[in-house]
Amino acid sequence: MSEHIPVLVQEVLSFLLPKPGDTLLDATLGHGGHAKAFLDAAPDTHVIGIDADSAALEIAKQTLASYGDKVTYVHGNFYELPDVQVNAVLFDLGIGSHQIADETRGFSFTSPGALTMQYGEHAALPDSNLSSINELTQKLHRYPDAEDIVNSLSPTALAELVRVYGEERYAGVVGNAIAEGRPFASAARLAKAVEAALPAFYEKGRINPATRTFQALRLAVNRELEVLEKALPAALDRLLPGGVIVVISFHSLEDRIVKRYFRSEAQGCICPPQQVVCICSHKPRLEILTKRPASATEEEAKTNPRSRSAKIRAAKKI
For 289-314, give one letter per residue: b (16+ CB within 10 A) or e.
bbeebbbbeeebbeebebbebbbbbb
Tell me how far apart the alpha carbons of residues 240 and 220 are, in angstroms, rounded to a whole number.
33
Ligand-binding annotation for 49, yes or no, is: no
Ligand-binding annotation for 172, yes or no, is: no
Ligand-binding annotation for 255, yes or no, is: no
Ligand-binding annotation for 32, yes or no, is: yes
Ligand-binding annotation for 113, yes or no, is: no
C-alpha of 169 from chain center: 22
Residue in 248, 245, 232, 233 with CA at minimum distance from that of residue 317: 245
139 residue type, one letter? K
Ligand-binding annotation for 98, yes or no, is: no
Tell me how far apart the alpha carbons of residues 130 and 40 are, in angstroms, rounded to a whole number.
38
Contact in structure between 236 and 286 (CB atoms under 8 Å): yes
Ligand-binding annotation for 51, yes or no, is: yes
Binding site feature residues for S-adenosyl-L-methionine: 32-34, 51, 78, 92, 99
Residue numbers belonging to the annotated binding site: 32-34, 51, 78, 92, 99
